Structure 1
């Protein structure tokens, strides 16, 4: 049996100190040759915790939140291994994860990225591979009515749910368009060939964009349940409240502007603005019916975020920290 190709671990963190501590504990049990943490200007003591409790870890502590893609690029520069497992700070590895992922990359030479199976802390499956966005799935995945309908279809008509990447059982390896960046094993050769992450994406869709460019360069992206990674999910982004929903839609539009035709761009802009207008209006109704001051403040913040998109100012949110 040939020796395992060394695989480094690179973690991007922003204000998830306690999760990061647990993540690093599971990583160290795997004894990777290199571990890099890029901290995006956390104010919760994340960088200090890494220095004090994990002195062998290479730490890059940014003074400014550069966004996920830029921080991930820094992590790749800071290690040398030919395979790199890129993680969010709110993930937990199982024993044998690194060997399983590196071994999969070694056996599948055209695979630039392999995404493992992701689960919630309670073991519930997380969707982790997706089709590239279209105007229709942009509508379906951001409409509350469509999301509820999708859950009912998956429950009562499983043959339909099993045919859609977001809802299939995630039980077997397959080539997919793109995988979630919360945990992805990356082949450095391919990553370098396409220039790494596009740093113009501050948050969201930087993983989809990377996979899109890898596909265009004749590499493949795989999902492979060779190991399972626990992903808390939202540990960092929930701190920003409604703004994250706007960032998601802003990055969706950015992806279309870079990779789609003018007609598709116009379609998705119309869909996004319509969705946010509906949320703005429903927020106004809820605001009138709500007396709790804290809840009113949350609703007002959500309405403000929706207003930004409806009025066409999403670019500011797509790039600022």
Structure 2
């Protein structure tokens, strides 16, 4: 019988101490699991690679053969970094049976990795499985999602109970499931992917720098016949936005708008993408009116609506290539074991 090996891929961007903590927790879990841990420094350029490698050597991780550290030449984003790990495979050059993607600010909790692997072993049609995520303060994070849509964009921006109830089938962030559930997509902070599913979709689309890359991956996997599941028995503690600084955004970065537009155009076409933006803007305007009347708190980063409209107008004026289902995967995935 196959060993059912797991390659845990841990992506670092300028958080070396936190990455080492996440690696230590993952290695403790993997002591009795076949596989390896691969840390990729995603073009940090701040000495992170050297610091992580030195600490890994000092702790005996490198000599044990259970861990490798790779430096990406540039920061191509989350998907590009993970593709490097998928392409690298195990230290013997073969592909594992499972890839486990783990954020540098995510800490496994005892049987996180084994639970996801066992779930995929027990459910042959499941290609991807994600964990229950809680903050380090114990606050649950909603990480079971539906695919974005025009109705979902409106609901997310209008932030009004009446519309949420009316549009419930399209609300992107689902109520926290208490049991295992098939979902459209789940967060990449703790995500296990079957080798065959990874091969079927060719890895991440590297056009996405950050955000929407997991959404796109799960959507392409679904089209290839692979299900995505949320598995709450698998748990991680997650700091959240440690590398991206999302919680402290003073303006929404350009790459978020790029990723959002690429997702909608790629999967639905230009007209649908424009309608989704109109729905988001309409919802934001309604919520803005409620803020004036009811003293509601600011929910989006400053100037979000203005930035969304200006970005969309510039994008509409630019040349419009036909939407493509093609991705920019690694040049080849690691070879399957002989």
If the TM-score is normalised by the length of the shorter chain, which range does it land in? 0.7 to 0.9
1:98-130, Cα deviation, whole Å (9 max, x unpaired): 221111110011111001101111111111121
Summarize the Cα distance change of 1:15–1:277 in structure 2 as closer, same or farther, 3 Å threshold.
farther
Q: What residue is the counterpart of 1:17 in the other structure?
A: 16
SS state at 2:314 partner = coil
Residue among 195, 204, 208 paired with 2:202: 195
1:225-244, Cα deviation, whole Å (9 max, x unpaired): 12211111111111783455
Comparing both structures, which one devotes a greater share of its residues to helix?
A: 1
Summarize the Cα distance change of 1:304–1:134 in structure 2 as closer, same or farther, 3 Å threshold.
closer
Q: What residue is the counterpart of 1:293 in the other structure?
A: none
CA distance in 2, matches of 1:168, 1:186: 23
Please state how far the C-alpha of 1:219 moved relative to its aligned partner. 0.9
CA distance in 2, matches of 1:262, 1:63: 34
CA distance in 1, matches of 2:283, 2:122: 44
CA distance in 1, matches of 2:214, 2:97: 19
Please state how far the C-alpha of 1:25 moved relative to its aligned partner. 1.2
Does 231-240 or 183-192 show the bigger shift?
A: 231-240
Q: CA RMSD in A?
A: 3.4
Summarize the Cα distance change of 1:163–1:207 in structure 2 as closer, same or farther, 3 Å threshold.
closer
Summarize the Cα distance change of 1:168–1:274 in structure 2 as closer, same or farther, 3 Å threshold.
closer
Residue among 60, 63, 69 paired with 2:73: 63
CA distance in 2, matches of 1:11, 1:91: 9
Summarize the Cα distance change of 1:215–1:299 in structure 2 as closer, same or farther, 3 Å threshold.
closer
SS state at 2:258 partner = helix
Q: Does 1:135 align with 2:146?
A: no
Summarize the Cα distance change of 1:304–1:256 in structure 2 as closer, same or farther, 3 Å threshold.
closer
* Residue correspondence of structure 1 range 1-321 to structure 2 within 5 A: 5-30=4-29, 31=31, 33-55=35-57, 56=62, 57-79=67-89, 80-141=95-156, 143=157, 145-146=158-159, 149=160, 166-238=173-245, 241-242=249-250, 244-272=252-280, 309=311, 311-312=313-314
Does 236-245 or 204-213 show the bigger shift?
A: 236-245
CA distance in 2, matches of 1:230, 1:12: 16
Number of matched pairs:
289
Q: Is the 8 A contact 2:127 2:227 kept in 1?
A: yes
1:259-311, Cα deviation, whole Å (9 max, x unpaired): 1144422202334566789999xxxxxxxxxxxxxxxxx968x7995575254
Q: What residue is the counterpart of 2:334 in the other structure?
A: none
Unaligned residue ranges in structure 1 (runs of 5+)? 281-297, 316-321
SS state at 1:34 partner = strand
Instruction: List, as ranges, runs of 4+ consecutive aligned residues in structure 1 with deviation greater than 4 Å.
Output: 160-165, 242-246, 272-280, 302-308
Unaligned residue ranges in structure 2 (runs of 5+)? 90-94, 289-300, 319-338
Summarize the Cα distance change of 1:66–1:276 in structure 2 as closer, same or farther, 3 Å threshold.
farther
Q: Is the 8 A contact 2:76 2:209 kept in 1?
A: yes
Please state how far the C-alpha of 1:193 moved relative to its aligned partner. 1.3
CA distance in 2, matches of 1:133, 1:34: 34
